[in-house]
Amino acid sequence: MSALLDLQGKRLVLGLSGGIACYKSAELVRLLTKAGAEVQVVMTEAAAEFITPVTMQALSGRPVVTSQWDAREPNNMAHINLSREADAIVIAPASADCIAKLAQGRADDLLSLMCLARPWTAGDQRCPLLIAPAMNREMWAHPATQRNVAQVVADGAQLLGPGHGDQACGEVGDGRMLEPAELLEDIVAAFQPKRLAGKTLLITAGPTFEAIDPVRGITNLSSGKMGFALARAAREAGAQVTLVAGPVSLPTPRGVQRIDVRSARQMHDTVLPLAPRHDVFVATAAVADWRPATLAEHKIKKDGKKQAPTFELTENPDILAAVAALRGAKPYCVGFAAESENLLEHARAKLKRKGIPLIVGNLGPATFGRDDNALLLVDATTQQALPADGGTADKLSLARLLVADIAARLQAAHHPA
C-alpha cells in the first residue's frame, strides 16, 4: 500500500546507540534508502559492539561517523554539520542511557552532542528528533526512564514506540524497538502536514459478506485498500482514526483503531453509535445493498436435479444515509460511489440522494484489488479529478490528496469567506 519514494530528497541522520536491536537498524537503513532517503549513519562506541560500521556503510552508501573527533570534517565539527544538513535525526535504537543523556543535556559522545547542537528553538522544525526506545521491560518501566522519556518529549522529541513482545533476554513486555517497517511508516508520517490535527475520523472499508448458508454468501471484489490507505493518510495528517473494516486481509495502519465486522448490519450497528463522536465520517466500504431474507441452517446441497436454489433478498440498511440523517451532533459525511459506467451522473445522483456534501467516485471494476486508482470528487456544484492530470496514482498518494481536500473543506466550513 505504501507510496513509492515517500522520502525522496530527505536527508536523515540515523543514530545507533548500544543495544541488541542494532540488528534491526540494518534493515531500517535499507527501507529508508529504498523510500528515497539519503541516510547518514552515526554510531556510538557501544553500538559498534553489536553491529559493525562496515555493515552500515555498505547499506547506506556513506561512511559511518563514530566520533566527535573525526578529522574528515574540514572544520572538525561533525556535530554541527550533520545536524544542519539533516531533515531529521532518528535514533534507533535509543537505549536507556541514550535517552538519559538527551534528557539531561549531556554531550559526551558524537550522537548526544549532535542532538544537543541541532536546531531546537520552539516552533523550529528544521531538524526534528525521532527516538525509538529499545531496552528490557524493567528498564523501560523504571521511574527514572519514564521521567527521562517525558522530559525528552517535553523538549520536542517524537517517541516512536516502544513495541511489546519477546525480548532478547527471554522476557516479554514493553520496551522492544519497533520493527523496521513500523519505524518507516512513523518516519514517513512525521513529514506529512498535520492538516487534521485534533480531528477524529470514522472510516469504513472493504466489502461486506451477506451469508446465504453457513459456508456461502453474497459479497463483492472490494479489497479495502483505498479505505485502509485513507485511514493511514488521516492518521499521518494528525487525526485520531477509527477504522471499521469488512472481511479483508490487510494489516492495520499504525496508530489506527480497527474494528472488524462481517455483514452490512454489523457495520451499521457499529458505525451508528460511533458517528456522533467523530468530526468526519468517510464511507469507503463497498456495502452490499441486499442480503438473503433468511439464512439456511445448513449448507445448501445439490439435489441431483440440476435445479439451482432460489432465495428471497431484502434490502440492507443504508449506513451513509443513516449517519447523514442523524439529529444533533453528526460528522461531516463523505461517501464513495463505485460505479461501472456514467460515473459523474451516478455520483451526483448519490450525493443528492444521501444528502451529503461530498461524494468520491471511482470505477469499481477498474480499481477493485488494484494498488492504483483514479478518483472523481463531486460536490453540489463542482467536480474534480484526482490526480489532477486525469491519470492514476497509487492509493496512498490518492488518500493523501483526498485528506488534504477534506481538511480544506472543513476549514472552509468553519471559516466561510
Q: Is 350 annotated as a binding residue?
A: yes
- Identify the burial level of 52 via C-beta atoms within 10 angstroms of its C-beta, where 0-12 means exposed, 13-18 middle and 19 or more buried: middle
Residues in the chain: 417
Q: Is 354 annotated as a binding residue?
A: yes
**Residue among 22, 98, 127, 169 flagged as catalytic:** 169
Q: Is 317 annotated as a binding residue?
A: yes
Q: Is 386 annotated as a binding residue?
A: no
- The type of residue at 97 is D
Classify residue 395 by its DSSP letter.
H
If DSSP codes are grouped into helix, strand and coil, which group holds residue 243? strand
Q: Is 299 annotated as a binding residue?
A: yes
Q: Is 289 annotated as a binding residue?
A: yes
Q: Known catalytic residue: 169?
A: yes
The upper half-sphere exposure of residue 60, i.e. CA atoms within 13 Å in the direction of its Cβ, equals: 25
Q: Where are the alpha helices (DSSP H) in 37-165?
A: 53-60, 78-85, 96-104, 110-117, 137-141, 143-154
Does residue 26 contact residue 53 with C-beta atoms inside 8 Å? no
C-alpha 249/C-alpha 395 separation (Å) is 16
Cross-strand pairs, 292: 313
Phi-psi region of 175 (alpha: psi -120 to 50; beta: other; left: phi over 0): left
C-alpha 182/C-alpha 161 separation (Å) is 9
| Three-state secondary structure of 198-225 | CCEEEEEECECCEECCCCCEECCCCCCH
**365: phi then psi, degrees, rounded to nearest 5:** -60, -25
Q: Is 305 annotated as a binding residue?
A: no
**Is the bond preceding residue 162 a cis peptide, omega within 30 degrees?**
yes
Q: Is 389 annotated as a binding residue?
A: no
**CB atoms < 10 A from the CB of 12, how many?**
23
C-alpha 97/C-alpha 136 separation (Å) is 12
Give the residue ranges of the annotated binding site for CTP: 289, 299, 317-320, 336, 350, 354
Give the residue ranges of the annotated binding site: 289, 299, 317-320, 336, 350, 354
Q: Catalytic residue numbers? A: 169
